[in-house]
């Protein structure tokens, strides 16, 4: 099928590449000239497992800034542009409206075409965009009977987005339009039947999911996305809430999490306590859900509590540093990890940055290391007063405390004896519970887990 994806960010690019790998003819469109020129040279503007390998294949996949040049005879158009948070927590819809306007201006539908909103948008936005496009095209006197619309939210995790794309637990299609449903079912058929050759460099979940398809209405599809992210954030905040109580009781939160996760109804995923959640989705989507509820004068106390606990967790960790060091002003703190989670170079909305800012505000000098995100951190956080170090050992040199803020697996294999010897004081704050408490205590660290 002929596909156009509007937006070549985490969602749009991974969608475009995956659909091209499945044999579709895909055109990626973005307003960002630099990003498009990189993609034309088969260079990935983002770090995703398997993306470089797929881009290097000879797929029917090209990129352009000019939608009009690729929209002729298209079958499916994905709107996959960003919906960042506004200062008031509501979603900024300017990009999706601009995308809809661009489509309406360029599309002269002479054959069935399905326009799909993949961006995470507040409830009701799908209907708004459909009306915007229909009215714009019919005002030109063109036939709108060939237009079909659907919501198709994405559930991609950064760092394993392509694995989530090829091996999804579910594909949600929100539409009352049978033609839209039929076209998307055809588009995703290879995924739903798992009948494609596994792409190199993309992990296959074990056990491999069934990849079910759920058809529902557009509003429910939009809600599934928000509800899923808010639930995952709540699950993490729940274990983090318990971790504070376990610390007071002397219980081991990692064992509590393990014991809970052995119940298949709870499952072990998203049950790792620590510094809490960040990134470009959970913070935005939980606030947007609250924003939607408030428009209907309805409260979501559980989601509110999940956000509050997530903030409290960071303060709890800073308090732990204060009580250990007593005087933080002028102290040197080594911070290992600045990305919002491992296996990505994304430093946006990172809990590690919140921690570094808080310690800097208290007068500490924070020496940041990250295996992958350092270049982005140096650029995005140049004015924050952090020091950036190319190795964890450099960050640890002479520090009064060392902290693991992002659970990069490679921090497990550091020479922790060497780090202990280079520290001014042996305080190790494992804000992601990455290391073995007993092993660190045996080495001589004062170990703090969360
Ligand atoms: C999330 C959703 O998982 C994905 O389905 C949706 O499409 C987009 O948002 P992502 O933001 O990439 O994906 O990150 P995710 O892997 O979900 O982690 C989110 C945050 O939770 C990270 O800061 C991570 O460190 C934290 N986390 C995750 C925990 O603190 N504990 C856990 O057990 C798991």
Ligand 1: nearest atom to the Cα of 280: 11
| C-beta of 164 in contact with ligand 1 (< 6 A) | no
CA of 378 to the centre of ligand 1 (A): 23
- Pocket lining: 231 vs ligand 1, CB cutoff 6 Å: no
Q: Would you say the CB of residue 160 lies under 6 angstroms from ligand 1? A: no
Residue nearest to atom 17 of ligand 1 (CA): 157
Atom of ligand 1 nearest to the CA of 279: 11
Q: How far is the CA of 280 from the centre of ligand 1 (A)?
A: 9
The finding on whether 282 has its CB within 6 A of some atom of ligand 1 is yes
Atom of ligand 1 nearest to the CA of 285: 9
Distance 400 CA to ligand 1 centre (A): 30
**Peptide bond before residue 7 is cis, with ω within 30 degrees of 0:** no
What's the pLDDT score for residue 89?
73
Contact 46/23 with Cβ under 8 angstroms? no
Q: Distance between CA 113 and CA 85 in Å, rounded? A: 30
- Compute, in angstroms, the gap from residue 277 CA to the centroid of ligand 1: 6
What is the rounded distance in angstroms from the CA atom of residue 411 to the CA atom of residue 392? Answer: 8
Alpha helices, DSSP H, located in 173-300: 178-192, 218-249, 253-261, 282-295
Q: Is 340 near ligand 1, meaning CB less than 6 Å away?
A: yes
Instruction: Ligand 1, residue 269: give the atom nearest the CA.
Output: 33
| Range 388-392 contact pairs with CB under 8 angstroms and sequence separation of 24 or more | 389/334, 392/334, 392/336, 392/419
Task: Tell me which residue has its CA closest to atom 16 in ligand 1.
Answer: 157
User: What is the per-residue pLDDT across 188-227, written as a single tens digit (0 to 9) for each?
Assistant: 999 999 999 999 999 999 888 889 999 999 999 999 999 9
Integer Rg of the chain from CA: 24
The set of long-range contacts for 99-103, using a CB threshold of 8 Å and a minimum separation of 24, is 99/6, 99/7, 100/129, 100/132, 100/133, 101/132, 101/136, 102/6, 102/67, 103/6, 103/67, 103/71, 103/77, 103/79, 103/133
Q: How far is the CA of 35 from the centre of ligand 1 (A)?
A: 25
Residue entry with tokens 């392509």:
162
Q: Which of 341, 342, 349, 350 to mutate to test the pocket of ligand 1 (most atoms within 8 A of CB)?
A: 341
Return the residue matching tokens 């803020």: 405
How many residues are given for the chain? 450
177, exposed or middle or buried, with CB in 10 Å at 0-12, 13-18, 19+?
middle
- Cβ of 278 below 6 Å from ligand 1: yes
Core vs surface per residue 286-302: b (16+ CB within 10 A) or e: bbbbbbbeeeeeeebee
Closest CA to 280 of 347, 235, 354: 347
Counts of helices then strands in the chain (DSSP H, E): 16, 14
For residue range 278-324, list pLDDT tens digits in order: 999 999 999 989 988 999 999 999 999 999 999 999 999 999 999 99
Q: Is the CB of 365 under 6 A from ligand 1?
A: no
Residue 351 Cα: closest atom of ligand 1:
23
**Which residues are catalytically annotated?**
281
CA-closest residue to ligand 1 atom 27? 277
The whole-angstrom separation of Cα 149 and Cα 96 is 14
Residue nearest to atom 1 of ligand 1 (CA): 157
pLDDT at 32: 95
Q: Is 16 in the pocket of ligand 1 (CB under 6 A)?
A: no
Residue 371 alpha carbon to ligand 1 centre in Å: 19
User: Across the 450 residues of the chain, what is the mean pLDDT of every consecutive 10-residue run?
Assistant: 96 97 98 96 93 96 97 96 84 94 95 96 92 95 94 96 97 98 98 95 89 96 96 98 97 97 97 97 93 94 98 97 96 98 95 97 98 96 96 98 98 98 98 97 98
386 in contact with ligand 1, CB cutoff 6 A: no
What's the gap in Å between 144 CA and the centre of ligand 1?
A: 40
Token pair for residue 406?
């992002």
């Amino acid at each position: 099928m002929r596909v156009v994806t509007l937006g070549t960010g985490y969602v749009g690019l991974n969608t475009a590449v995956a659909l091209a790998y499945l044999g579709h003819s895909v055109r990626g469109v973005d307003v960002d000239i630099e990003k498009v020129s990189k993609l034309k040279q088969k260079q990935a503007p983002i770090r995703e497992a398997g993306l470089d390998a797929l881009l290097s294949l000879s797929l029917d996949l090209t990129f352009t800034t000019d939608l009009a040049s690729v929209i002729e005879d298209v079958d499916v158009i994905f709107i996959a542009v960003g919906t960042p948070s506004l200062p008031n927590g509501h979603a900024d819809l300017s990009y999706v409206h601009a995308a809809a306007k661009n489509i309406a201006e360029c599309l002269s539908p002479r054959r069935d075409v399905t326009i799909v909103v993949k961006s995470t948008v507040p409830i009701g936005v799908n209907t708004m965009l459909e009306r915007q496009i229909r009215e714009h095209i019919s005002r030109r006197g063109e036939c709108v009977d060939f237009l079909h619309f659907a919501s198709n939210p994405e559930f991609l995790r950064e760092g394993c987005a392509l694995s989530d794309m090829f091996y999804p637990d579910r594909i949600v299609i929100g539409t009352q339009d049978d033609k839209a449903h039929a076209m998307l079912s055809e588009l995703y058929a290879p995924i739903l039947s798992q009948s494609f050759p596994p792409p190199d460099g993309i992990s296959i979940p074990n056990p491999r999911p069934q990849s079910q398809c759920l058809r529902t209405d557009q509003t429910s599809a939009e809600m599934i996305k928000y509800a899923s992210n808010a639930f995952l954030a709540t699950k993490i905040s729940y274990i983090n809430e318990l971790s504070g109580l376990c610390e007071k009781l002397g219980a081991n939160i990692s064992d509590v999490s393990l014991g809970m996760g052995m119940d298949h109804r709870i499952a072990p995923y998203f049950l790792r306590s620590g510094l809490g959640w960040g990134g470009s989705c959970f913070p935005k989507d939980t606030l947007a859900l609250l924003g939607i509820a408030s428009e209907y004068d309805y409260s979501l106390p559980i989601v509110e509590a999940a956000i509050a606990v997530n903030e409290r967790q960071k303060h709890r960790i800073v308090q732990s540093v204060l009580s250990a060091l007593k005087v933080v002003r002028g102290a040197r703190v080594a911070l290992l990890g600045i990305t919002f989670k491992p296996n990505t170079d994304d430093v946006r909305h990172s809990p590690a940055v919140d921690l570094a800012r808080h310690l800097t505000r208290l007068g500490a000098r924070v020496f940041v290391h990250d295996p992958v995100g350092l270049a982005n951190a140096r650029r995005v956080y140049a004015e924050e007063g952090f020091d950036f170090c190319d190795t964890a050992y450099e960050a640890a040199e002479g520090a009064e405390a060392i902290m693991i803020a992002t659970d990069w697996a490679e921090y497990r294999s550091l020479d922790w004896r060497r780090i202990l010897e280079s520290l001014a004081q042996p305080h190790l704050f494992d804000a992601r519970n990455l290391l073995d408490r007993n092993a660190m205590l045996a080495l001589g660290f004062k170990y703090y887990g969360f």
